[in-house]
Amino acid sequence: MNLFDGVSAAGRAAIALMALWLLPASAAEPDRLDQIDFPVRTVTVVVPFAKGGPTDTVARLITAEMAKTLGQPIEIENMLGAGGTLAATRVAHAAPDGHTLIVGHLGTHGAAVALFPKLAYRPDKDFTPVALLTEMPVLLLARKQFPPKDLSEFASYVKSHTDNLNVAHAGFGSVSYASCLLLNRLLKIDPTGVPFSGTGPALQALVEGQVDYMCDQIVNAVPALREGKVKAYVIAASERDPVVPDVPTAREAGLPGFQVGAWTGLFAPRGTPEPIVAKLNAAVSRALDQSDVRTRLTDLGALVPRPEQRAPVVLAQLVQEEISRWEEVVKGTTP
């Protein structure tokens, strides 16, 4: 799995050069950052999905450590609705003082532009990127008794039974929705979508056999997989994941276009002062460097970005790339 999968060669080069140039502003000079009068009260981090889901899990792990660095409490607020876009709209219009932030991902800050024609914000214009938090591979999962044994059989089966199949997701615009939208476009099928309030409830429905398959982030799926409650066909990544080493990549299984990096990033409202962004970025980086945080994230299958990948410019470029990519997917073409 690679952060830059799907990013153009020119884009990768620009990101690398700019990230290295900007790194000292956020990772160095701790004395200068300590002198910034921020935060002065509790910081609210809005999570656009339900408590206990993959985005929420990542947010709580990282912000708990950030609070120690910043010297003020960080409160997680779970705000559901419209694939996370209600939460994003709220934060986009919040005061740009660093005290209201959002954990966004490829849904809220990428695919949403194409999925919601009347979107009340622009991910690339109405937010100030703070830092990339994680990248989480996506797995194609099915209920335990689903007949196909591998991806080849899965493709044949869903094509011949598409009218009778249900695919679970965490709501229109969510990562699970966007990921399976890409899969279904590639396979040229149109099953019935069944929305849930989050990937937790969706996965539970899969475990209970109420739905046939879903695309889920590895952080959410690993416990059920380890207990044998669901089956996994492929991982939508360029490499196998050590947490689920027996699950082949989509490329190995014959569907190379199924590549989805379910990244999460921390964003502030547009206009947030650079010194505040730098202090937040440094707090994120310090949290990601804590061994217990890294261990807990990697045990769940999440990938921790390298220091040069945490610069705000990396997240800004990633948002641009995702907007372009998902516009093509939603149009019905492959990226």
Distance CA 137, CA 232 (A): 12
Estimate to the nearest angstrom the gap between the alpha carbon of 330 and the chain centroid: 18
Full-model pTM: 0.86
Residue 78 scores a pLDDT above 80:
yes
Residue 284 scores a pLDDT above 80:
yes
Q: In the structure, what pLDDT confidence band is assigned to residue 171 with cuts at 50, 70 and 90?
A: confident
pLDDT tens sequence across 106-138: 999 999 999 999 999 999 999 999 999 999 889
pLDDT tens sequence across 12-56: 444 444 444 444 444 445 556 666 789 999 999 999 988 888 889
Report pLDDT for 20: 41
